[in-house]
Amino acid sequence: MPSSLQAVHNIPEICAQLGITDVVLSPGSRCAPLTIAFARHPAITVRTVPDERAAAFIGLGLAQAQRRAVALVCTSGTAGLNYAPAVAEAFFQQIPLVVFTADRPPEWIDQLDGQTIRQTDLYGRHAKGSFTFPTDTSHPDAQWHAARLVSEAINLAQQFPAGPVQVNVPLREPFYPKPDEELTFGPVKVMHELPGRSQLPAATLRELREVLRGTARVLVVAGQHPADVPLQLALREFATAWQLPVVGDLIANLHQPTAASHNQHPRFVGRQDVFLAVPEPGLKEALRPDLLITFGQSLISKALKLYLRQHRPARHWHIQAAGPVADTFQSLTQVIRMEPTDFFAALASRNEDTDSLSDAPSSPGQTEPGRNVLPADVTRVAPRPRLNWPAPAEADAAKAAYLRPWLAAENWATGFLADFMQHPNQQFNEFTTIFQALQLLPDGAALHLANSMAVRYANILGLPAGHGAGVFANRGTSGIDGCTSTAVGAALAQPERPVVLITGDVAFFYDRNAFWHNYPLPNLRVMLLNNHAGGIFRLIDGPRQQPELEEFFETRQPLTAENTARDFGLRYFPVSTFAELEAALPVFLSTEGGAALLEVFTDSQTNAAFFEQYRTLVRTSFALPT
């Protein structure tokens, strides 16, 4: 006997045909038809996570790691509201999620029926689209409509820019199949979409190339972006050909090698949080761009954002294939509708008559086709290194002159950090513990950085040159609410890849339900910085000067993670000295032994004092020549 809910039971088949293989489900009664259909589909992996907020972030982590859409399924009522933080994060980070929210039928909305809220368009403008599944699918046209809108929803989620969509599914009882009722999948019609790529006319490319030729001070800034080898290669060719600086936060993943023979030419800039803290007008002027080229999403570096807002370029191009574009630096003059990889590849040649670097005319700093010889690095001189560079000249020499201070500042900052972090007689602090952990991070790991101080510390410190780790952070909304769950989703998605999360105590304890499920996480390592407070508030001006700091901003807490580790089967490493850290880190980060939690106990006031010492020395250790 065929199912009376066949249109609902077809949903998993449509998902499977359109590339969705993972579903994160939170149990409930109203969603029973969806639960049964997904659980019985042979091509779909279903994971059950009771807490909807954690479940949604785990789904986000799965989608982020696999780079394809993941489905979420929940019951009616406030269950779907608990998805909202992850839905907003997915929207701003452009991660595809397809959210199936079971619902009461429309006649029972606002009638004081149990577990009933207004679920239509539940996420508003934080979803790319909202679809309502037909309540009655007995008519053939309704069945066609149901299949069509599920296809449309999945395709919309995956169209660039990707993002979350909601499919609200009103369901009437009975929910469960009868003993003689057969549950089948398909045949069902789906609509596939083939992606296209925007290309600019040759005349437009010539115009852009002429602007590049005529502009001495050209700066490329990369926003958050997943590791992408073709993009890296195109960007390196572009930067080499035009002798220009490329700047990006750690989450832009510019540090990653592009091949086994990878070298650091041209060297991308990532220490901007260090050298832009230098209160030196001459340095600021030397770095000022006339043309800014940006791609990717958000920036962590407040210093870079403020600098570019205060030193606005005459032109600002943002490269993005589709979707709304933010004017982050208040200087946007042109949106170029191309994939960044295609843009940099198309303009990697300085000559419009050739497509390869080998035919491009040589320029200062370039001695053979395709190989860049950077302007000479400036040697560090302690304790007050002095950097020198010539004033901008004409044409290509001016481009090399503009590149030089960026590389010199980067070189100075790298050396400064190396010296500062090895300073003897330090009190135990979280800034140095992160530095030491990053030096030992397994090559090729997925590094997840929780919001608040963990991501800021790591962005200042960076990874060793050429390190193969991919870096992830929930910087779409920059909330602390799902950082652990996102890392858990990544660990589930790629069980063969080490996943290392660095997090603070408030973010960790806020999201403990990330572990409340029955799935092993042998590749997950969590480094927890526990200073028993929201330590960031001691590091920023404003709250740290207020008498309400401890009670109302830091919200001090006495918790440790030992019980959490025991409850969820995580190996537990508590450390409170550098000697204990040095002994624990190699064992903790080893790929053997199973899931582990390293809890680093520090004092909030000590952390603040050490970080203030770092900031003071940054401001005073750099000087221009007299």
Residues 319 and 267 in one domain: yes
> What total of structural domains would you count in the chain?
3
- Is the distance from CB of 412 to CB of 380 less than 8 angstroms? yes
Residues 126 and 271 in one domain: no
Residues 166 and 225 in one domain: no
Taking alpha carbons only, the member of 184, 208, 149, 263 closest to residue 13 is: 184
Q: Say if residue 260's pLDDT is above 60.
A: no
Q: Say if residue 357's pLDDT is above 70.
A: no
Taking alpha carbons only, the member of 306, 312, 236, 287 closest to residue 403 is: 287
Of 347, 368, 388, which marks where a domain is finished? Answer: 347
- Is 469 inside any structural domain? yes
Alpha carbon 523 to chain centroid, angstroms: 20
Residues 120 and 263 in one domain: no
Q: Rounded to an integer, what distance in angstroms lies between the CA atom of residue 529 and that of residue 526?
A: 10
Report phi then psi at 472, rounded to 5.
Answer: -130, 145
DSSP state of 49: -
Q: Can you give the pLDDT at residue 113?
A: 87
pLDDT band with cut points at 50, 70 and 90 for residue 119 = very high
pLDDT band with cut points at 50, 70 and 90 for residue 503 = very high
Q: Say if residue 580's pLDDT is above 50.
A: yes
Q: Can you give the pLDDT at residue 266?
A: 80
pLDDT, averaged across the chain: 88
Q: Rounded to an integer, what distance in angstroms lies between the CA atom of residue 145 and that of residue 224?
A: 38
pLDDT in tens, 561-575: 999 999 999 999 999
- Is 61 inside any structural domain? yes
- Is 79 inside any structural domain? yes
Lowest average pLDDT, out of 11-25, 105-119, 282-296, goes to: 105-119
Residues 154 and 250 in one domain: no
Residues 139 and 240 in one domain: no
CA distances from 65 to 122, 300, 447, 472, 493 (A): 26, 21, 11, 9, 6
Q: Say if residue 390's pLDDT is above 80.
A: no
pLDDT band with cut points at 50, 70 and 90 for residue 358 = very low
Q: What is the residue range of 597's domain?
A: 423-620
Give the chain's largest Cα–Cα span: 90
Lowest average pLDDT, out of 60-74, 87-101, 356-370, 492-506, goes to: 356-370
Contacts 24+ apart (CB under 8 A), 228-231: 228/253, 228/341, 229/256, 229/258, 229/259, 230/341, 231/340, 231/341, 231/344
pLDDT in tens, 170-226: 999 888 877 777 788 878 889 999 888 888 899 999 999 999 999 999 999 999 999
Q: Rounded to an integer, what distance in angstroms lies between the CA atom of residue 197 and that of residue 591?
A: 40
Q: Can you give the pLDDT at residue 263?
A: 53
CATH number, domain with residue 563: 3.40.50.970
Between 243 and 535, the higher pLDDT residue: 243
3-state per-residue secondary structure call for 443-507:
CCCEEEECCCHHHHHHHHHCCCCCCCCEEECCCCCCCCCCHHHHHHHHHHHCCCCCEEEEEEHHH
Report phi then psi at 153, rounded to 5.
Answer: -65, -45
Q: Say if residue 110's pLDDT is above 90.
A: no
- Is 19 inside any structural domain? yes
Taking alpha carbons only, the member of 215, 438, 413 closest to residue 303 is: 413
- Is the distance from CB of 72 to CB of 500 less than 8 angstroms? no
Neighbouring CB atoms inside 10 A of 428's CB total 20
Residues in the chain: 626
- Is the distance from CB of 50 to CB of 79 less than 8 angstroms? no
Q: Can you give the pLDDT at residue 120?
A: 95
Q: Can you give the pLDDT at residue 388?
A: 45
- For the segment 581-602, the average pLDDT, to the nearest whole number, is 96
Q: Which tokens go with 326?
A: 């933010």
- Return left, alpha or beta for 574; rule: phi > 0 is left, psi -120 to 50 is alpha, else beta: beta
- For the segment 98-107, the average pLDDT, to the nearest whole number, is 95
Q: Can you give the pLDDT at residue 360?
A: 33
Of 318, 347, 376, which marks where a domain is finished? Answer: 347
DSSP state of 527: E
pLDDT band with cut points at 50, 70 and 90 for residue 261 = low
Residues 528 and 600 in one domain: yes
Neighbouring CB atoms inside 10 A of 560's CB total 17
Q: Can you give the pLDDT at residue 211?
A: 96
Q: Can you give the pLDDT at residue 398?
A: 87
Residues 318 and 227 in one domain: yes
| H or E stretch covering 547 | none
- Is 33 inside any structural domain? yes
Q: Say if residue 617's pLDDT is above 60.
A: yes
Of 296, 319, 347, which marks where a domain is finished? Answer: 347
Q: Can you give the pLDDT at residue 526?
A: 98
Tokens 């499919």 belong to 167
Q: Say if residue 340's pLDDT is above 70.
A: yes
Burial group, residue 136, by CB count within 10 angstroms (0-12, 13-18, 19+)? exposed
Q: Say if residue 389's pLDDT is above 50.
A: no
Strands of 190-290 (E only): list them: 218-222, 246-248
Residues 223 and 109 in one domain: no
- Is 413 inside any structural domain? no
Q: Say if residue 424's pLDDT is above 90.
A: no
Taking alpha carbons only, the member of 386, 390, 417, 422 closest to residue 404 is: 390
Q: Say if residue 423's pLDDT is above 90.
A: no
- Is 355 inside any structural domain? no
pLDDT in tens, 523-550: 999 999 999 876 666 666 676 667 766 6
CATH number, domain with residue 206: 3.40.50.1220
Residues 165 and 250 in one domain: no
- Is 363 inside any structural domain? no
Amino acid at residue number 521: L
Lowest average pLDDT, out of 101-105, 339-343, 370-374, 426-430, goes to: 370-374
Residues 307 and 455 in one domain: no
Amino acid at residue number 466: G
Residues 96 and 166 in one domain: yes
